[in-house]
Amino acid sequence: MDNVLYLNSTGSTNNDAYNLAVKGAVHGFGVLSDTQSAGKGRLGKNWVSPAGTGLYCSIVIRPNLSFTEFPKLTLTAGLALCTAVQSFLPDINFGLKWPNDLYCLRHKCGGILVESSTPNCPDEESFVVVGIGINVNTQLDEFPLELQQKVTSLHILSGEIYNIKDLYQKIRASLLEHVYIHENRGFEKILHEWRKRDVLFEKEMQWVTHDKEVITARGMGPDENGHLLAIDSDGKIHEILSGDVQQATNGEQ
Ligand code: BTN
C-alpha cells in the first residue's frame, strides 16, 4: 500500500498521524492499525478497538482551504465515509447523524474524530487528521452489553466478512475526492449531498445544553457553516455548534 503505515497495534492512530503530520507527512498519508489500546472518540470518549474486527485509521489532510473552513471538513469527511461504505455494500442504505456518525437502521456503525493543527500554525504547514473507526466484522455478542441495542457492524448488516485493507483504500480515495470537491466546488456541493443522507432530518431530537437543559426540537439539517439547525414546538430555531444529539425515542426501533 502506498502512503500508509500499517501497524499491528498502537495507542491511537490519530496520535500517530498527528505526530507524523507535524513532521511533514503528506496529504493522504494514513495510519491503519489492527487494534488500538487508547482509541479516542468524540467528546473525550474512548473508542474500544478490538483486534481483527474493526477498521481503525487516521488520514492526514492538507486542505487548500482557509483555517476557518476547517470545521466544515468534519462533514466533508462524514460524507466521504458514508459514500465509500455505501459503494462497498450497495444493497444497504447508510446515513449520517450530525456531525459525522455513520448510521444504518438507527444503529451506529462508525464514527469520525477530526483533529486540526493549532490555529497559529503557518498556512503551508497546517493539516487536519481524519480518524475513522468502523465496526466491520464484529459480531453482536462482541460488543459490550450496554452498547448492543445502539450499534451495528457491516457484518451484522450483510452477513459477509470484509477485507479491512480494501475498505481502507476505498475510504481514503473517497476522502481525497470529497476534499477536492470541497476545495474546488465549495462546501455547498458537499452540504447538498450530506443533506440527502441526514438521518435526523425532520426527526424529533434531543440534546443537553451547557446549562444542562434538555431541548427537544425537529431536525432541519446542517447550515452553510456545518452547524445543525432544529426548530422547537414554539417555532424557535436552535443552532447547535458542537456536542451530541439523539433522536427522541418514540417506541419504534
Ligand atoms: C466517535 O466518537 O464516533 C469517533 C470515533 C473515532 C475513532 C477512530 S478509530 C481510529 C482513530 N483513532 C482514534 O483514536 N480515534 C479514531
* Distance from Cα 39 to the centre of ligand 1, integer Å: 6
Residue nearest to atom 3 of ligand 1 (CA): 111
What confidence tens digit (pLDDT) does each residue in 116-175 have?
998 888 888 899 999 999 999 999 999 999 999 999 999 999 999 999 999 999 999 999
Give the angle 236-242-243 at the CA atoms, nearest 5°.
Answer: 100
Separation CA 116–CA 102 (nearest Å): 21
Q: Which atom of ligand 1 is nearest to the CA of 110?
A: 3
* Distance from Cα 180 to the centre of ligand 1, integer Å: 23
pTM (2 d.p.): 0.95
Q: What SS3 class is residue 202? A: coil
Separation CA 78–CA 174 (nearest Å): 10
Question: Where are the chain's structural domains?
Answer: 4-195, 204-247
Q: Which atom of ligand 1 is nearest to the CA of 45?
A: 2
Does residue 219 have its Cβ closer than 6 Å to ligand 1?
no
Assigned fold of 4-195: BirA Bifunctional Protein; domain 2 (3.30.930)
Q: How far is the CA of 13 from the CAs of 31, 45, 70, 200, in angstroms? A: 6, 15, 20, 29
* Span 230-240, average pLDDT: 95
What confidence tens digit (pLDDT) does each residue in 24-62 have?
999 999 999 999 999 999 999 999 999 999 999 999 999
* Distance from Cα 45 to the centre of ligand 1, integer Å: 9
Which CATH code is given to the segment(s) 204-247?
2.30.30.100
